[in-house]
């Protein structure tokens, strides 16, 4: 391991990423994973973590941090009465199921494949948010089962493969069916809880005994990074939630889109350059 002074810049980078992730968790109803995953990926690389486990470690560690962050964000949004609790109850099985399937896939996929999955999904969602029109609707209300169950499973699957709390995907689903972006954001914080808890278990199991993982790791989760960033993200998530309710629908959508394009470009560059 590098000397402590050489680790200091990476610790500061993690703390800065945690601060941004906490604000984003509250503002966009996400667990902060979309910013934590690329930060972890690059920091773990600078620390000499092998390429073949680096992306999996970034995904698992991100989901572990999302557990308390999403819970805190959910509580903040629920106090404002904007959460669709009926939708969350209908996804209690579907979303965790999809997330556990994702952890099995991630354990068998290569780091490059996982980076490309992350980048492609993020880019598609970015363009949807930036060029969104009010006329882009699939219906005036959310569909019933089995469509709703399948969508929940798909959100859990895609989110588990991206190490995110599912807010981006759920916001897209809800707004396409006539729900406001603000309700989507609030409900997405609850979706993050349904994703992060089974994701935590799945990534520990999937990486158990794998060679090349850094100290203080259980499977694909590094607890040193988790303990370092959780206090920062927990403290700042309510601030992001307050900011979300001061922004217009268009501002939230544009913010989503620009953010996702930057992250997607970063991973494409990692793979092809």
- Whose CA is closest to 37, among 67, 19, 11, 14? 14
**Residue 135 carries which DSSP code?**
T
What tens digit of pLDDT does each residue of 1-46 get?
A: 555 666 677 677 777 777 777 777 667 656 567 778 887 887 888 7
Q: Would you say residue 99 has pLDDT above 90? A: yes
Confidence of residue 238 (pLDDT cuts 50, 70, 90): confident
Q: How many domains does the chain have?
A: 1
- Between 112 and 24, the more confident residue is 112
Distance CA 229, CA 214 (A): 17
Q: Would you say residue 59 has pLDDT above 60? A: yes
Residue in the block written with tokens 């169950």? 149
- Between 152 and 254, the more confident residue is 152
What tens digit of pLDDT does each residue of 154-203 get?
A: 999 999 998 888 887 888 888 888 888 778 878 888 898 999 999 999 99
- Between 226 and 239, the more confident residue is 226
Task: Give, in degrees to the nearest 5, the angle at Cα 130 between 169 and 102.
Answer: 20
- Whose CA is closest to 244, among 24, 27, 25, 12? 27
pLDDT of residue 134: 64
The domain containing residue 40 runs over which residues? 4-272
Who's near 131: CB < 8 A, 6+ residues apart?
A: none
pLDDT of residue 144: 86
What is the mean predicted confidence (pLDDT) over 110-117?
A: 91
């Amino acid at each position: 391991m590098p000397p402590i002074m050489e680790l200091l810049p990476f610790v500061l980078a993690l703390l800065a990423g945690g601060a941004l992730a906490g604000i984003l968790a509250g503002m966009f109803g996400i667990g902060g994973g979309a910013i934590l995953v690329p930060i972890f990926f690059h920091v773990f690389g600078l620390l000499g973590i092998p390429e073949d486990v680096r992306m999996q470690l970034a995904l698992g560690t991100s989901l572990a941090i999302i557990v308390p962050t999403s819970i805190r964000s959910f509580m903040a949004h629920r106090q404002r009465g904007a959460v669709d609790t009926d939708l969350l109850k209908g996804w209690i099985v579907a979303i965790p199921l999809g997330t556990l399937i994702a952890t099995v896939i991630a354990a068998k996929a290569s780091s490059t494949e996982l980076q490309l999955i992350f980048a492609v999904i993020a880019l598609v969602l970015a363009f949807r948010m930036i060029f969104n029109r009010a006329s882009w609707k699939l219906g005036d209300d959310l569909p019933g089962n089995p469509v709703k169950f399948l969508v929940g499973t798909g959100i859990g699957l895609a989110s588990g493969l991206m190490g995110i709390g599912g807010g981006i995907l759920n916001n897209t689903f809800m707004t396409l069916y006539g729900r406001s972006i603000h309700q989507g954001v609030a409900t997405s914080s609850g979706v993050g809880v349904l994703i992060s808890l089974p994701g935590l278990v799945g990534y520990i199991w999937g990486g158990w005994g794998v060679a090349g993982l850094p100290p203080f790791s259980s499977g694909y989760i590094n607890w040193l990074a988790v303990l370092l960033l959780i206090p920062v993200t927990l403290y700042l998530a309510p601030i992001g939630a307050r900011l979300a309710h001061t922004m217009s629908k268009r501002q939230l959508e544009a913010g989503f889109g620009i953010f996702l394009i930057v992250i997607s470009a970063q991973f494409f560059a990692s793979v092809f350059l």
